[in-house]
Amino acid sequence: MTLIDGKAIAQEVRNEIRDEVAEWVAAGNEAPGLATVLVGDDPASAVYVGGKQKACAEVGMRGFDHRLAADTSEAEVRALLHQLNADPAVSGILLQLPPPPHIDGPKLTEEIAPGKDVDGLTPISTGLLHKNLPGLRPCTPLGCMELLKRHDVDLSGAEAVVVGRSDLVGKPISALLLQANATVTTAHSRTKDLAEVCRRADVLVAAVGVAHLIKGDWVKEGAVVIDVGMNRLDGKLTGDVEFEAAAERARLITPVPGGVGPMTIAMLLRNTLQAAKAAAAV
Ligand SMILES: Nc1nc(=O)c2c([nH]1)NC[C@@H]1CN(c3ccc(C(=O)N[C@@H](CCC(=O)O)C(=O)O)cc3)C=[N+]21
């Protein structure tokens, strides 16, 4: 069994992006800029946004860190998003999810200009993804694909099983795996005999958000296991997969933490650079 070191691969990607940004700026372009919008004072969200801003600075991008009070109205957030849409220094916009309960996060996300949608979550980006047209793809699914790519996992004709059908991860990663010519099954809470479905996977992606739902003996001998889960259990971060038992059967497996998580931020930076280049091309 080989551990997939997401932290190390994310650092590799970040170094590559830093070089590309330097090249882009040396050619006379403005540095790409990432605007983050955080509504409310959830401490975990503040840590995530801080991490994204720090990562931005490290690769030579500009950061615009917008923090709004918890009682900010939906109209005020919408107005800020429109202002960022119109600002040429802003290449990418990220509305940190979830916002406070009086704000509809997915609906407000729709206000982000498709060219600046570095989370890849607007309906336009979703349509472009499903038609395999150029556009911005969601960061966590991109991060999973990058881990598979850097480990030379052959997806063509492979049986891929994705557990979870969220707009954020399950659906988009199923689409990306299908485009890579895998035979894709998207399983979920209503799937009959989930254990048997998982057992046929050459590539098993767990994205349900339930700690240790995927048991070790659901993993086929020699399978590749990608654990997208981020669950708090007894104060510790843990995945959707029963890691120790799964690792005995898997050929490759991601740990939590240190697997998919760090890749999400690396792909956000890549999307921001892609958005900056696309904006300059028009
Ligand atoms: N608009 C929006 N876009 C997002 O991409 C988004 C979001 N909202 N809201 C919250 C989730 C969560 N998320 C993570 C990113 C990186 C790690 C990460 O780097 N995790 C590390 C360490 C985590 C730790 O130790 O606490 C790891 O897994 O090794 C985790 C979670 C992005 N999200």
- pLDDT given for residue 281 in this prediction: 94
- Do 223 and 199 meet the contact criterion of CB atoms below 8 Å apart? no
* 22 falls within a domain: no
| 97: amino acid identity, one letter | L
Please indicate whether residue 97, judged by its CB atom, sits closer than 6 Å to ligand 1: yes
Rounded-to-integer distance, Cα 5 and Cα 258, Å: 7
Asked if pLDDT for residue 271 goes beyond 90, the answer is yes
Asked if pLDDT for residue 282 goes beyond 90, the answer is no
pLDDT digits (tens, 9 = 90+) for 117-140: 999 999 999 999 999 999 999 999
- Do 279 and 115 meet the contact criterion of CB atoms below 8 Å apart? yes
Give the HSE-up count for residue 54: Cα atoms under 13 Å, Cβ half-sphere. Answer: 6
Q: Do 256 and 205 fall into the same domain?
A: yes
Query: Regarding beta strands 203-206 and 224-227, do their DSSP bridges make them parallel or antiparallel, or are they unpaired?
Result: parallel
127 belongs to an annotated ligand binding site: no
Q: Do 65 and 160 fall into the same domain?
A: no
Taking the whole predicted model, whether its pTM rises above 0.90 is answered as yes
**Enclosing domain of residue 58:** 28-113
Asked if pLDDT for residue 1 goes beyond 90, the answer is no
Alpha carbon of residue 51 to chain centroid: 14
Four-CA torsion 122, 128, 129, 132, nearest 10 degrees: 180
Please indicate whether residue 228, judged by its CB atom, sits closer than 6 Å to ligand 1: no
**For residue 216, how far is its CA from the centre of ligand 1 (angstroms)?**
25
Q: Do 103 and 164 fall into the same domain?
A: no
165 belongs to an annotated ligand binding site: yes
Which residue from 258, 224, 221, 216 is spatially nearest to 240, judged by alpha carbons? 216
pLDDT digits (tens, 9 = 90+) for 72-108: 999 999 999 999 999 999 999 999 999 999 999 999 9
Query: Regarding beta strands 224-227 and 252-253, do their DSSP bridges make them parallel or antiparallel, or are they unpaired?
Result: parallel
Q: Do 143 and 72 fall into the same domain?
A: no
Average pLDDT, the chain: 98
Please indicate whether residue 264, judged by its CB atom, sits closer than 6 Å to ligand 1: yes
Q: Which helix (H) or strand (E) holds 41?
A: none
| Average pLDDT estimate for 201-212 | 98
Q: Do 148 and 257 fall into the same domain?
A: yes
Q: Where do the DSSP E strands lie in 166-269?
A: 183-187, 203-206, 224-227, 231-233, 236-238, 252-253
**CATH code, domain with 99:** 3.40.50.10860
Rounded-to-integer distance, Cα 205 and Cα 160, Å: 8
Rounded-to-integer distance, Cα 165 and Cα 182, Å: 17
Residue identifier of the C-alpha nearest atom 21 of ligand 1: 261
